[in-house]
C-alpha cells in the first residue's frame, strides 16, 4: 500500500491538524493485557503512590501508540512508517474518574530522498510535554 498524502504536496514547516486522545483507566488495563506490561504503576493507585508517583500513570508506550496513530491516520498507510522514536519526558497521570487527555500536534520537519518526510510530534497532557524528540519518518506517495 502507499500513503494517501503526496510527497510533492507537503512542505517543510507545514503543520498537521492537532488531535486529542482521551485516556481512561480501562484503556490502561486493556493496554496492559495487550502489551504484556502489567507493571502495577499503570493500574493500581495504592501501588503507584507508594512508589512516589502522583497517581496511576499511562504506559509510555500507550502515549507513543497514540502518536503513531496520529501519524498513520494522517499519512493514510500504517505500513509507510520507516522509523519512529520518542523520548518520554513526563508522565501522563490518569486519575480514576476523569482520566486524562493526550493532545498531539505535528509538523513536517524535513523532506528526505525517496519520498520520505520527517514529522516532528509534540504530545502534551495536563499542560506538560509528555513526549520530546518525537519523530516519525514516513514514506509518502
Partner 1 sequence: MALNRDFLGRAFPPSEPYEVSRVKIKEFADAIGDPNPVYRDAGAAKAAGYPDVIAPPTFPIVISLTAGSLTDPELGLNWAMVVHGEQRFEYQRPLHAGDVVITEATIGGIRSIGRNERLDIQTVIRTVEGEHVCTSHNVLIERGV
Place of cell 509528555: 130
Q: For residue 1, what are the CA distances in angstroms to 9, 27, 73, 140?
A: 19, 30, 14, 10
Name 56's Cβ contacts closer than 8 Å, sequence gap at least 6.
Answer: 25, 28, 41, 42, 43, 44, 45, 48, 93, 94, 95, 96
Q: Between 42 and 124, name the residue whose CB sits nearer to partner 1.
A: 42
Place of cell 519523530: 135
Quick one: which of 55, 68, 95, 122 contacts partner 1 (CB under 8 A)? 68
> Which residues between 89 and 108 bind partner 1 (CB under 8 A)?
91
34 binds partner 1 (CB under 8 A): yes
Q: Between 124 and 135, name the residue whose CB sits nearer to partner 1.
A: 135
Residue ranges that bind partner 1, judged by CB under 8 A: 1, 21, 27, 30-31, 33-37, 39-41, 47, 51-52, 59-62, 64-66, 68-69, 71-73, 77-79, 81-88, 91, 133, 136
Amino acid at each position: 500500500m502507499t500513503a494517501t498524502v503526496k510527497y510533492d504536496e507537503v512542505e517543510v514547516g507545514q503543520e498537521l491538524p492537532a488531535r486529542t486522545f482521551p485516556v481512561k483507566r480501562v484503556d490502561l488495563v486493556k493496554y496492559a493485557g495487550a502489551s504484556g506490561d502489567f507493571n502495577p504503576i499503570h493500574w493500581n493507585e495504592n501501588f503507584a503512590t507508594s512508589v512516589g508517583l502522583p497517581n496511576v500513570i499511562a504506559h509510555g508506550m500507550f502515549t507513543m501508540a497514540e502518536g503513531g496513530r496520529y501519524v498513520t491516520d494522517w499519512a493514510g498507510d500504517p505500513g509507510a512508517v520507516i522509523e519512529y522514536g520518542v523520548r518520554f519526558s513526563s508522565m501522563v497521570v490518569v486519575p480514576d474518574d476523569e482520566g486524562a487527555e493526550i493532545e498531539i500536534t505535528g509538523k513536517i520537519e524535513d523532506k528526505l530522498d525517496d519520498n520520505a518526510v520527517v514529522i516532528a510530534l509534540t504530545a502534551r497532557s495536563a499542560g506538560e510535554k509528555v513526549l520530546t524528540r518525537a519523530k516519525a519518518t514516513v514514506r509518502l506517495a
